[in-house]
């Protein structure tokens, strides 16, 4: 990358002056001439240029005349120099560009009629713009299509060898899955090694391809751009908040496109710090569930002969009748509700309002309870911040990134590009502490393998090293001497032997990591499921806060502690107060004043606080018969929670199990009434992404058959249950939220947050700190030597994505346990051999497959599939503070069958 | 509490002041009568509704009510490419579709500064004049029918049929022609078509004289057209009238003569002008225009130059079809033009064309994209409706039929 | 104004009135026309000759060897000013790199018979025919689907070809070979569809 310093926005270069079409322009020395010209607003055609990567210079279109040079020069690869006299327009340049287009056209096949890119093709545009009419000696290449890869087909007849796909894959995605390859006299773009693609299938190559050389198998030949209606919305898979265009014709979703495309090729490289506009495999290729035939089209009511479809009127009549009877007989606390964090903010708000104001119970919870609440509550408690402290830009521009317990490229692929850009463009040091060799660990400067499940010990070791090596920040610690003293005492109690034994690292490695972290001016901590979903996740986050605090990184701009939420709107679920201990705006439910404010706004009296009524407690109360009716919105606890939690008994025990979901789920099968809800693509509303940015969700389709958006169902139920909720559109709900939480929407921009740990350090810190540095007893590992992680894979998100056939094709339910090949060899297992996996909760038999990225002594199973029901091997440990259930990490014994 | 009953008598009797001694003799109160005419009246030529205020049989006020045929044509134009709007123009003045095509194409060509090949200009002129004959024949037949002379209607329609069949052979449709294209015309004349027109030119004059004789010797026709709906030259200009309606009042204004476009400058013809500004003079102007048109067609047919019938501007006009199959550049041109249209330069233009009914103008605002940003149609029928009240006042109710007809109004273009 | 009806003398007017001259003149015209051949048709029994260029109902065409000409490019849909065409396309499983229309609808109730779709078609798969008698009491039958359109095309293949010739979409039979879209076949090494 010869031009690297040019495009690295942080490197200072002297400012120079040059003349473009008689206009004086200032630029940084060494910047691509093309960038300088496009800054002035002039657009020179260029087919191989895209601002997200360095100029490549293959298309020969961006010709300009530079004084002193006889022939036109390619402006993209030329560097701006002081005193240059540049001319961008003129008949000679037009003809030279026309010649360049003709060169591409003569070897291009005559297949506009079949080509998917037709109407959205830069070559067409260029040919038309330059008035090419007659081609002499046209010689199409006549190559067969390369259909070896999943999802993408490569048609080299159409390829103009611009290299945009290769460049974006290499530079932005850092996957480097594509290459030029010479075969039988012609150059092809092929997957590395001339085989089928092995990559993350983000589809950015498809988005930037200016012609139809790369096509999408899932929508191949089924559309032309003029047939499609484009709706800009927000992806509902993970919390990255990617903007996407859902392109529909009639009732069908034909494809999903990203803001990243060859059409948006002009921009400032520095802009990518906030995102490059691309999507990941889930967003781009996981759209097929939206118009799936498996969707629920009508309400279902359980009769003696099973489910019977009913009209909304009858179904609602049944539901309301039963709910009213239960409330009258057993009181409002016989009703509880759970909602998924894939609903919009408006729906989440309305749901908790429905439960609290219309029904009068505080037994309400969301799927943020599975982990994200550990983070928000810990950070709220310690620093007064209820979400991630850093946005994308701060992650990109950090000097050191500390990633603990996150497989960020799998769970949050687009957020991971910020880490990649930090590494590649801004030269950040990345410390990645994980038990498996994740993709981000392969790119990191400091990959730090640790024993599976030891993330918390590792964090404690980091804190201990920071304190002991005197890497502490003077200002931060002197401001709270008692707290620092307490921390010192607490870490002194930890022994390095125990910590290194448990984490599997050396003291030196830990010290090196913490030294890097502490000495960096801008250092960001990113953690995820490896911390928040583990046992004592709440304490783990507080340990991270301690680390940031003592090194002075808690309050410094550009630094912070972050945990990546999993589902699209987990942050929104917390912000909307869908938890028994919270009110909208993350006000504590126990707070009298806050409660009074909402009681006045909703014109009702709110139920008394019941902070313990969280997910697990609700299920327990169901089992005990105290809860008679359970309202599940998009939640599927039966497929999520291990059997040992007694979830099945709980669901079978209730008198009314009301499910509301786009699909008939496992839990739905047990329900008494199932209401058909819509997917995000049919809804209006907003999602709050991990940065705290409120993104708009727009309806791309009419609701499927009789399905209704969730907010409409809530509003109808609330009204019939005696608490009028007269909203005509999601915007009416939004207006109410705006009144109650001023500034929440904030025009789609995240509000900057500042950590205020002073109060916590003064009041509670000394009392609490010792407990979270107590080295608990380590379970005996001899009997169950393997650590089984049930986790997320790139191609799926929760259970929803398993309804998308395209994603299933990429990652089907294989029912295989992934293990380190050496472990397999040691157990003398062949590829087809079955094993018995035994935990304290039982045993499951299944086959294995090798995975080189896994460390020895660990194994992995994707959480999206319950075939075989490996989740039932887990025992569920509930966090004492936040009641978050931890069940993704199991110690097992494996024996060959 | 019981309410007193209202006086429900329809006729109010009052004491006649001239016969106060005889209170038993009632006098009828005189009042204006409102009469709704149309929109389903056979003589209103489409769905025009006129609210008439009558004093006895005299028209005191006549208010035309329009919009029954409103289809949002101007809005439709903003939704498609420039090319796609041509079939929509067929449905403006559906009696003279060719003229609408012509006026629209001329406007777009003016916007693009596009030169049409000479052969196409000749063909355009010939067909436009043929269309004028069709339009005037249609008017003559229906106007005579409305007034009570039925025979003429059959004869003029018979001759109109000949020309409509000519259109059918030329472009494939009799009324909704869409033959004109931006940059030329869709299809060249075949020798057979030229021969057919020649024959018509010989056939037509005696027939026209025959019809004129029928009407000029018809006392009813004369008495019902002469002195009806008179408008002075000054008033006609002030009301913005155009075409035969204006020329009937003696104003020598014809766009074909004043800014000769297409091939109008290449043939001998004169602008017939009336004197009295009444319905009869407008009838006479139209008849004379038919004679002139026939002369023009005959002259032009003799000197059609050779050459292409479409301009060859790759960014606007379609490539020849055989090249589309074999040449990628032409195929791309075909796809781009049909799916996205050509990019018209930014700006706004107005272009008026002398159609059979008057000046048909298109006002186009372009934002530089492939679709018009705004398109306004200056339809003569609509402008003429402005003078309706002025021209109808004071005449008898029976004359209203004549007054409708005197404008040669077509609601398709009036309501748009 | 150059023409004026002559003022008649009083005597002349009296004579005309007494001799019913106007009636005589009208009768003369009427009598003359008794011996003129009528210009009207007795429609269901007699039909007018339709010119080749006539823009009648649309039909889809096949090559002479029976392969469908349509490649499902949807350009007709883009060209249609009244948005009456809907094409659903898919990958053709038989020929690599090729596409075909799985469904093709023309809502003939919306069609304005402008012929733009024929002009747009890059493979000359659409043509207008001389068919005009398809009125029905059931409006649903006026949405022509792919099968119906191919039936029309087959039944009126001669008219359709003549339409294409008349509108310069195709030249006559001998030259028509170069009016063939050959692309995917060329690549796959297959013989392109032939006309006999």
- pLDDT at A388 > cutoff 60: yes
Element housing A214 (H / E): strand A214-216
Same domain? A855 vs A712: no
- Work out the minimum CA distance from C70 to partner chain B, whole angstroms: 13
Q: Please give the Cα distance from C53 to A800 (Å, whole number).
A: 57
How sure is the predictor about A276, in pLDDT bands with cuts at 50, 70 and 90? confident
Q: Please give the Cα distance from C88 to A250 (Å, whole number).
A: 11
- Using CB atoms, which residue from B172, B284, B324 is nearest to C3? B284
**Chain A partners of B324 at a C-beta cutoff of 8 Å?**
none
What per-residue confidence (pLDDT) applies to C4?
47
- The fold of the B73-315+341-415 domain, in CATH, is Cytochrome-c3 Hydrogenase; chain B (1.10.645)
> From residue A76, how far is each of A61, A79, A205, A264, A417 by CA, in Å?
9, 8, 20, 16, 25
- pLDDT at A638 > cutoff 70: yes
Residues 6+ apart with CB under 8 A from A747: none
Vertex C16 angle, CA C14 and C22, to 5°: 145
- As a whole number of Å, the end-to-end CA separation of chain A is 53
Predicted-complex ipTM score: 0.79
Same domain? A281 vs A311: no
Domain span holding position A84: 4-89
How sure is the predictor about A10, in pLDDT bands with cuts at 50, 70 and 90? low
Task: Read off the pLDDT of residues B124-182 as tens digits, 9 standing for 90 and up.
Answer: 999 999 999 999 999 998 888 888 888 888 889 888 988 999 999 898 888 988 899 99
- In sequence order, what are the beta bridge partners of A16? A27
**Chain C partners of B149 at a C-beta cutoff of 8 Å?**
none
Arithmetic mean of pLDDT, A45-57: 86
Whether A95 maps to a domain, the answer reads no
Say if C39 is an interface residue toward chain B (CB within 8 Å).
yes
- pLDDT at C14 > cutoff 70: yes
Q: Kindly determine whether residue C167 and residue B334, on different chains, have CB atoms separated by under 8 Å.
A: no
Same domain? A621 vs A552: no
Whichever domain contains C137, its CATH number is 3.30.70.3270
> From residue B302, how far is each of B191, B264, B297, C76, C126 by CA, in Å?
12, 14, 9, 39, 37
Same domain? A178 vs A219: yes
To the nearest whole percent, how much of chain B has pLDDT over 90? 19
Give one DSSP letter per residue of A721-757, joined into a string: TTS----SSHHHHHHHHHHHSTTSSGGGPPPP-----
Task: Read off the pLDDT of residues A219-229 as tens digits, 9 standing for 90 and up.
Answer: 888 888 888 89
> From residue A755, how far is each of A389, A472, A664 by CA, in Å?
8, 18, 43
Whether C45 maps to a domain, the answer reads no
Q: Kindly determine whether residue B332 and residue A124, on different chains, have CB atoms separated by under 8 Å.
A: yes
Same domain? A217 vs A311: no
For the CA atoms of B344, B345, B347, B352, the dihedral, rounded to the nearest 10 degrees, stands at -50
What per-residue confidence (pLDDT) applies to C196?
43
Instruction: Give the dihedral sign, CA B173/B174/B175/B180.
Output: positive
Same domain? A360 vs A376: no
Task: Give the nearest chain B residue to A130 (CA atoms).
Answer: B315
Q: Which of A673, A707, A741 is the last residue of a domain?
A: A741
**Chain B partners of A134 at a C-beta cutoff of 8 Å?**
323, 327, 329-330
Whether C30 maps to a domain, the answer reads no
Residues 6+ apart with CB under 8 A from C29: B151, B214
Contacts A–C by Cβ distance under 8 A? 66
- In sequence order, what are the beta bridge partners of A437? none
Q: Kindly determine whether residue A133 and residue B326, on different chains, have CB atoms separated by under 8 Å.
A: no
Q: Looking at beta carbons, which pairs linking A703-706 to residues 24 or more positions away fall under 8 Å?
A: A703/A678, A704/A251, A704/A291, A704/A295, A704/A297, A704/A662, A704/A676, A704/A678, A704/A679, A705/A295, A705/A297, A705/A298, A705/A676, A706/A297, A706/A298, A706/A299, A706/A311, A706/A312, A706/A676
- As a whole number of Å, the end-to-end CA separation of chain B is 56
Give one DSSP letter per residue of A647-699, joined into a string: HHHHHHH-SEEEEEESS--HHHHH-SEEEEB--GGG--EEEE-TTS-EEEE--
CB B314 within 8 A of CB B333: yes
CB A548 within 8 A of CB A526: no
Arithmetic mean of pLDDT, C57-83: 86
Domain span holding position C111: 58-188
Whether C160 maps to a domain, the answer reads yes
How sure is the predictor about A578, in pLDDT bands with cuts at 50, 70 and 90? very high
φ/ψ bin of A194: left (φ > 0), alpha (ψ from -120 to 50), beta (otherwise)? left
Same domain? A558 vs A413: yes
Same domain? A326 vs A396: no
Say if A133 is an interface residue toward chain B (CB within 8 Å).
yes
To the nearest whole percent, how much of chain C has pLDDT over 70? 83
Whether C47 maps to a domain, the answer reads no
**Residue A724: CB atoms within 10 Å:** 12
- Work out the minimum CA distance from C91 to partner chain A, whole angstroms: 5
Whether A416 maps to a domain, the answer reads yes
Whether C43 maps to a domain, the answer reads no
CB B39 within 8 A of CB B62: no
Whether C21 maps to a domain, the answer reads no
How sure is the predictor about C3, in pLDDT bands with cuts at 50, 70 and 90? very low
Which of these, B90, C101, B118, C99, lies nearest to A118 by C-alpha position? C99
- Using CB atoms, which residue from C5, C53, C178 is nearest to B187? C53
Task: Read off the pLDDT of residues A490-542 as tens digits, 9 standing for 90 and up.
Answer: 888 888 888 888 888 999 999 999 999 998 899 999 999 888 988 888 999 99
Q: Kindly determine whether residue B329 and residue A224, on different chains, have CB atoms separated by under 8 Å.
A: no
Q: Please give the Cα distance from A426 to A5 (Å, whole number).
A: 10
Residues 6+ apart with CB under 8 A from A416: A408, A409, A439, A440
How sure is the predictor about A430, in pLDDT bands with cuts at 50, 70 and 90? very high
Same domain? A590 vs A715: yes
Q: Please give the Cα distance from B350 to B365 (Å, whole number).
A: 9
- pLDDT at B58 > cutoff 90: no
Whichever domain contains A494, its CATH number is 3.40.228.10
To test the contact with chain B by mutation, choose from A123, A128, A132 the residue with the greatest count of B C-beta atoms within 10 A, namely A128
Whether A777 maps to a domain, the answer reads no
- Using CB atoms, which residue from A108, A118, A135 is nearest to B335? A118
Whichever domain contains A67, its CATH number is 3.10.20.740
Contacts A–B by Cβ distance under 8 A? 57
Judged on CB neighbours under 10 Å (0-12, 13-18, 19+), B258 is exposed
- Using CB atoms, which residue from B327, B330, B335 is nearest to A124? B335
To the nearest whole percent, how much of chain A has pLDDT over 90? 27
Q: Which of A563, A585, A600 is the last residue of a domain?
A: A563
What per-residue confidence (pLDDT) applies to A147?
85
φ/ψ bin of A251: left (φ > 0), alpha (ψ from -120 to 50), beta (otherwise)? alpha
- Work out the minimum CA distance from A133 to partner chain B, whole angstroms: 5
**Chain C partners of A108 at a C-beta cutoff of 8 Å?**
none
Count: domains in chain A? 5
Task: Read off the pLDDT of residues A291-345 as tens digits, 9 standing for 90 and up.
Answer: 888 899 999 999 988 899 999 999 999 999 999 999 999 999 999 999 999 999 9
How sure is the predictor about B12, in pLDDT bands with cuts at 50, 70 and 90? very low
Q: Please give the Cα distance from B200 to A437 (Å, whole number).
A: 90
Say if A138 is an interface residue toward chain B (CB within 8 Å).
yes
Count: domains in chain C? 1
Arithmetic mean of pLDDT, A695-706: 91
Judged on CB neighbours under 10 Å (0-12, 13-18, 19+), B113 is exposed
How sure is the predictor about A661, in pLDDT bands with cuts at 50, 70 and 90? very high
* Mean per-residue pLDDT over chain A, rounded: 88
Say if A107 is an interface residue toward chain C (CB within 8 Å).
no
Extents of the domains making up chain B? 14-64, 73-315+341-415
Q: Kindly determine whether residue B339 and residue A133, on different chains, have CB atoms separated by under 8 Å.
A: no
Say if C77 is an interface residue toward chain A (CB within 8 Å).
yes
**Chain A partners of C83 at a C-beta cutoff of 8 Å?**
none
E-strand spans in B38-121?
49-55, 58-65
Whether C114 maps to a domain, the answer reads yes
Residues 6+ apart with CB under 8 A from A166: A178, A179, A180, A189, A205
What per-residue confidence (pLDDT) applies to B5?
47
Give one DSSP letter per residue of A496-559, joined into a string: HHHHHHHH---HHHHHHHHHHHHH-SSEEEEE-HHHHTSTTHHHHHHHHHHHHHHTT-SSSTT-
What per-residue confidence (pLDDT) applies to A523?
92
Which of these, B261, B259, B268, lies nearest to B116 by C-alpha position? B261
Task: Read off the pLDDT of residues C153-184 as tens digits, 9 standing for 90 and up.
Answer: 889 888 888 888 888 887 766 655 555 565 55
- pLDDT at A170 > cutoff 50: yes
Task: Read off the pLDDT of residues A592-603 as tens digits, 9 standing for 90 and up.
Answer: 899 999 999 988
**Chain C partners of B83 at a C-beta cutoff of 8 Å?**
116
Q: Please give the Cα distance from B278 to B401 (Å, whole number).
A: 14
- Work out the minimum CA distance from C120 to partner chain B, whole angstroms: 7
Residues 209-228 of chain A with CB under 8 A from chain C are 220-224, 226-227
How sure is the predictor about B11, in pLDDT bands with cuts at 50, 70 and 90? very low
Contacts B–C by Cβ distance under 8 A? 106
Give the three-state DSSP class for B157.
helix
Q: Kindly determine whether residue B329 and residue A105, on different chains, have CB atoms separated by under 8 Å.
A: yes
Q: Please give the Cα distance from A775 to A777 (Å, whole number).
A: 7
- pLDDT at A165 > cutoff 70: yes
What per-residue confidence (pLDDT) applies to B224?
86
Q: Please give the Cα distance from B288 to A436 (Å, whole number).
A: 96
Same domain? A139 vs A85: no
Sheet of strand A229-234, all strands in order from the earlier edge strand to the far edge: A229-234, A243-249, A252-257
Q: Please give the Cα distance from C99 to C89 (Å, whole number).
A: 7
Say if C178 is an interface residue toward chain B (CB within 8 Å).
yes
H helices of A747-843, in order, are 758-763, 765-772, 805-810, 821-826
Task: Read off the pLDDT of residues B362-385 as tens digits, 9 standing for 90 and up.
Answer: 999 999 888 999 999 999 989 998
What per-residue confidence (pLDDT) applies to A708?
92
CB B361 within 8 A of CB C143: no
Q: Please give the Cα distance from C59 to C125 (Å, whole number).
A: 8
Q: Please give the Cα distance from A407 to A862 (Å, whole number).
A: 13
Q: Please give the Cα distance from C78 to C75 (Å, whole number).
A: 5
Which of these, B285, B216, B215, lies nearest to B245 by C-alpha position? B285
**Residue B169: CB atoms within 10 Å:** 22
Arithmetic mean of pLDDT, C97-123: 88
- Using CB atoms, which residue from B325, B332, B340 is nearest to A127? B332
Task: Express the helix, strand and coil content of chain B in percent, nearest 5 each.
Answer: 50, 15, 40
- Work out the minimum CA distance from A181 to partner chain C, whole angstroms: 20
To test the contact with chain B by mutation, choose from A105, A117, A129, A133 the residue with the greatest count of B C-beta atoms within 10 A, namely A133
More confident position, A632 or C68: A632
- As a whole number of Å, the end-to-end CA separation of chain C is 66
CB A337 within 8 A of CB A355: yes
CB A716 within 8 A of CB A313: no
Q: Please give the Cα distance from B286 to C64 (Å, whole number).
A: 53
Task: Read off the pLDDT of residues B14-37 as tens digits, 9 standing for 90 and up.
Answer: 545 565 555 555 556 667 788 888
**DSSP 8-state code for residue A146:** B
Phi, psi (deg, nearest 5) at residue C106: -125, 120
Whether C107 maps to a domain, the answer reads yes
Q: Which of A225, A253, A285 is the last residue of a domain?
A: A285
What per-residue confidence (pLDDT) applies to A656?
92
Q: Please give the Cα distance from A674 to A651 (Å, whole number).
A: 14
Task: Read off the pLDDT of residues B316-331 as tens digits, 9 standing for 90 and up.
Answer: 888 888 778 778 888 8
H helices of B273-379, in order, are 279-302, 321-326, 328-339
- pLDDT at A659 > cutoff 90: yes
E-strand spans in A258-386?
300-303, 306-309, 335-339, 364-366
How sure is the predictor about B8, in pLDDT bands with cuts at 50, 70 and 90? very low
> From residue A204, how far is each of A167, A173, A181, B403, C194 by CA, in Å?
10, 8, 20, 69, 41
Q: Kindly determine whether residue B330 and residue A133, on different chains, have CB atoms separated by under 8 Å.
A: yes
How sure is the predictor about C1, in pLDDT bands with cuts at 50, 70 and 90? very low
How sure is the predictor about A7, in pLDDT bands with cuts at 50, 70 and 90? very low
Arithmetic mean of pLDDT, A371-400: 90
Arithmetic mean of pLDDT, A793-802: 88
């Amino acid at each position: 990358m010869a031009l690297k310093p040019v495009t690295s926005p942080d490197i200072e270069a002297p400012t120079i002056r040059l003349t473009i079409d008689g206009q004086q322009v200032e630029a940084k020395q060494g910047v691509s001439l093309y960038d300088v010209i496009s800054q002035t607003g002039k657009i020179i055609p260029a087919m191989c240029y895209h601002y997200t990567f360095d100029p490549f210079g293959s298309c020969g279109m961006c010709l300009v005349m530079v004084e002193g040079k006889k022939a036109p020069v390619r402006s993209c690869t030329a560097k701006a120099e002081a005193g240059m006299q540049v001319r961008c327009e003129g008949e000679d340049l037009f003809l030279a560009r026309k010649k360049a287009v003709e060169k591409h056209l003569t070897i291009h096949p005559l297949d506009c009629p079949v080509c998917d890119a037709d109407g959205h093709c830069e070559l067409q545009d260029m040919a038309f713009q330059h008035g090419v009419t007659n081609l002499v000696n046209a010689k199409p290449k006549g190559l067969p299509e390369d259909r070896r890869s999943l999802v993408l087909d490569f048609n080299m007849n159409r390829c103009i060898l611009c290299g945009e796909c290769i460049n974006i894959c290499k530079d932005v995605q850092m996957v480097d899955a594509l290459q030029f390859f010479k075969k039988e006299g012609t150059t092809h773009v092929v997957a590395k090694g001339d085989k089928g693609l092995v990559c993350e299938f983000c589809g950015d190559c498809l988005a930037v391809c200016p012609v139809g050389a790369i096509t999408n198998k899932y929508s191949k030949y089924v559309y032309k751009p003029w047939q499609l209606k484009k709706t800009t919305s927000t992806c509902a898979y993970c919390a990255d908040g990617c903007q996407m265009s859902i392109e529909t014709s009639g009732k069908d979703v034909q494809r999903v496109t990203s803001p990243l495309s060859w059409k948006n090729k002009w921009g400032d490289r520095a802009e990518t710090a906030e995102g490059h506009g691309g999507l990941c495999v889930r967003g781009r290729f996981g759209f097929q569930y939206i118009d799936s035939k498996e969707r629920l089209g009508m309400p279902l009511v359980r009769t003696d002969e099973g489910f019977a479809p009913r009209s909304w009127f009858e179904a609602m009549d049944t539901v309301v009748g039963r709910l009213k009877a239960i409330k009258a007989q057993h009181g409002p606390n016989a009703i509880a509700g759970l909602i998924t964090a894939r609903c919009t903010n408006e729906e989440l708000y309305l749901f908790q309002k429905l439960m609290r104001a219309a029904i009068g119970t505080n037994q309400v919870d969301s799927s943020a309870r599975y982990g994200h609440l550990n983070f928000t509550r810990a950070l709220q408690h310690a620093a007064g911040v209820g979400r991630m402290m850093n946005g994308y830009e701060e992650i990109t521009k950090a000097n050191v990134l500390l990633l603990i317990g996150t497989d960020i490229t799998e769970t949050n692929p687009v957020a991971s590009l910020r880490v990649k850009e930090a590494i590649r463009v801004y030269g950040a040091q990345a410390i990645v502490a994980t038990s498996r060799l994740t993709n981000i660990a392969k790119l990191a400067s400091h990959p730090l393998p640790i024993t599976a499940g030891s993330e918390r010990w590792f964090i404690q070791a980091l804190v201990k090293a920071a304190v002991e090596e005197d890497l502490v920040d003077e200002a931060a610690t002197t401001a709270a001497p008692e707290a620092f003293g307490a921390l010192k005492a607490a870490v002194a109690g930890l022994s390095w032997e125990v910590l290194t034994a448990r984490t599997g690292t050396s003291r030196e490695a830990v010290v090196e990591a913490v030294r890097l972290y502490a000495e960096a001016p801008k250092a960001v901590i990113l953690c995820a499921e490896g911390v928040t979903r583990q046992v004592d996740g709440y304490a783990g986050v507080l340990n991270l806060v301690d680390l940031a605090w003592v090194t002075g990184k808690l309050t410094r701009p550009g630094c912070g502690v972050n945990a990546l939420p999993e589902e699209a709107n987990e942050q929104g679920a917390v912000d909307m107060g869908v938890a028994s201990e919270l009110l909208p705006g993350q006000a504590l439910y126990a707070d009298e004043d806050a409660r009074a404010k909402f009681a006045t706004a909703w014109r009702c009296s709110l139920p008394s606080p019941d902070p313990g009524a969280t997910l697990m407690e609700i299920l327990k109360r169901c089992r005990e018969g105290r809860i008679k009716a359970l309202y599940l919105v998009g939640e599927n606890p039966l497929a999520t929670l291990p059997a040992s939690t007694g979830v099945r008994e709980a669901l079978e025990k209730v008198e009314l199990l009301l499910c509301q979901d786009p699909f008939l789920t496992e839990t739905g099968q047990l329900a008494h009434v199932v209401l058909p809800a819509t997917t995000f693509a049919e809804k209006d509303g907003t999602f709050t992404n991990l940065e705290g940015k409120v993104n708009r969700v727009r309806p791309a389709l009419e609701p499927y058959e009789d399905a209704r958006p969730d907010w409409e169902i809530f509003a109808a139920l609330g009204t019939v249950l005696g608490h009028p909720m007269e909203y005509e559109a999601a915007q009416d709900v939004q207006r109410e939220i705006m009144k109650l939480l001023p500034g929440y929407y904030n025009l789609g921009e995240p509000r900057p947050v500042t950590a205020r740990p002073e109060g916590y350090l003064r009041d509670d810190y000394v009392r609490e700190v010792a407990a979270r540095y107590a080295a608990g007893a380590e379970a005996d590992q001899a009997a169950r030597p393997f650590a089984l992680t049930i986790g997320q894979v790139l191609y799926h998100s929760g259970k929803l994505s398993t309804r998308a056939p395209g994603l299933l094709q990429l990652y089907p339910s294989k029912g295989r346990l992934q293990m380190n090949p050496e472990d397999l060899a040691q157990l003398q297992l062949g590829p087809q051999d079955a094993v018995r996996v035994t935990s304290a909760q039982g045993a499951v038999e299944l086959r294995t497959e090798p995975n080189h990225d896994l460390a020895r002594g660990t194994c992995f199973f994707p959480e999206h599939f319950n075939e075989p029901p490996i989740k039932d091997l887990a025992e569920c440990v509930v966090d004492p503070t936040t009641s978050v259930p931890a069940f993704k990490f199991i110690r097992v014994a494996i024996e060959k069958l | 509490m019981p309410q007193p009953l209202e006086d429900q008598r329809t006729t109010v009797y009052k004491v006649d002041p001239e016969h106060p001694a005889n209170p038993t003799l009632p006098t009828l109160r005189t009042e204006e009568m409102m009469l709704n005419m149309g929109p389903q009246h056979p003589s209103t030529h489409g769905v025009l509704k006129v609210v008439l205020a009558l004093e006895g049989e005299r028209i005191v006020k006549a208010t035309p009510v329009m919009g029954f045929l409103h289809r949002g044509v101007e809005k439709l134009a903003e939704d498609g490419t420039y090319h796609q709007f041509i079939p929509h123009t067929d449905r403006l003045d559906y009696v003279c579709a060719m003229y609408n095509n012509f006026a629209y194409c001329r406007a777009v060509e003016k916007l693009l500064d596009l030169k049409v090949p000479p052969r196409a200009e000749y063909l355009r002129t010939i067909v436009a004049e043929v269309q004028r004959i069709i339009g005037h024949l249609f008017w003559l037949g229906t106007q005579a029918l409305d007034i009570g002379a039925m025979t003429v209607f059959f004869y003029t329609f018979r001759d109109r049929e000949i020309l409509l069949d000519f259109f059918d052979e030329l472009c494939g449709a009799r009324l909704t022609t869409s033959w004109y294209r931006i940059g030329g015309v869709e299809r060249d004349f075949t020798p057979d078509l030229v021969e057919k027109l020649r024959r018509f030119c010989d056939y037509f004059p005696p027939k026209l004289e025959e019809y004129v004789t029928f009407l000029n010797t018809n006392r009813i026709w004369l008495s019902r057209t002469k002195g009806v709906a008179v408008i002075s030259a000054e008033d006609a200009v002030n009301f913005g009238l155009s075409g035969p309606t204006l020329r009937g009042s003696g104003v020598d204004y014809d766009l074909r003569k004043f800014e000769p476009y297409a091939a109008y400058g290449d043939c001998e013809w004169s602008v017939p002008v009336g004197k009295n500004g009444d319905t009869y003079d407008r009838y006479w102007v139209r008849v004379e225009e038919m004679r002139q048109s026939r002369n023009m067609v005959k002259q032009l047919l003799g000197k059609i130059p050779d050459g292409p019938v479409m301009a060859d501007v790759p960014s606007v006009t379609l490539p020849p079809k055989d090249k589309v199959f074999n040449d990628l550049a032409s195929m791309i041109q075909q796809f781009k033009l049909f799916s996205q249209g050509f990019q018209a330069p930014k700006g706004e233009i107005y272009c008026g064309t002398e159609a059979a009914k008057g000046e048909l103008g298109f006002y186009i605002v372009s934002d530089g994209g492939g679709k018009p940003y705004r398109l306004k149609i200056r339809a003569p029928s609509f402008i003429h409706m402005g003078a309706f009240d002025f021209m109808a006042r004071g005449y008898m109710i029976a004359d209203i039929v004549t007054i409708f007809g005197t404008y040669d109004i077509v609601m398709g273009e009036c309501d748009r | 104004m150059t023409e004026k009806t002559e003022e008649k003398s009083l005597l002349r007017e009296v004579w005309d009135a007494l001799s019913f001259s106007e009636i005589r003149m009208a009768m003369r015209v009427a009598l003359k026309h008794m011996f003129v051949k009528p210009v009207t048709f007795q429609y269901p029994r007699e039909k007018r000759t339709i010119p080749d260029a006539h823009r009648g109902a649309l039909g889809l065409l096949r090559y002479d060897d029976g392969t469908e000409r349509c490649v499902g490019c949807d350009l007709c849909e883009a060209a249609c000013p009244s948005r009456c065409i809907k094409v659903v396309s898919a990958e053709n499983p038989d020929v690599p790199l090729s596409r075909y229309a799985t469904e093709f609808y023309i809502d003939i109730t919306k069609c304005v018979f402008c012929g733009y779709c024929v002009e747009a078609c890059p493979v000359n798969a659409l043509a207008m025919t001389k068919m005009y008698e398809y009125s029905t009491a059931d409006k649903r039958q006026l949405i022509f689907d792919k099968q119906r359109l191919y039936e029309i095309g087959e039944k009126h293949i001669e008219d359709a070809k003549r339409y294409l010739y008349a509108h310069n979409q195709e030249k006559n039979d001998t030259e028509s070979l170069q009016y063939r879209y050959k692309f995917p076949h060329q690549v796959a090494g297959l013989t392109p569809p032939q006309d006999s």
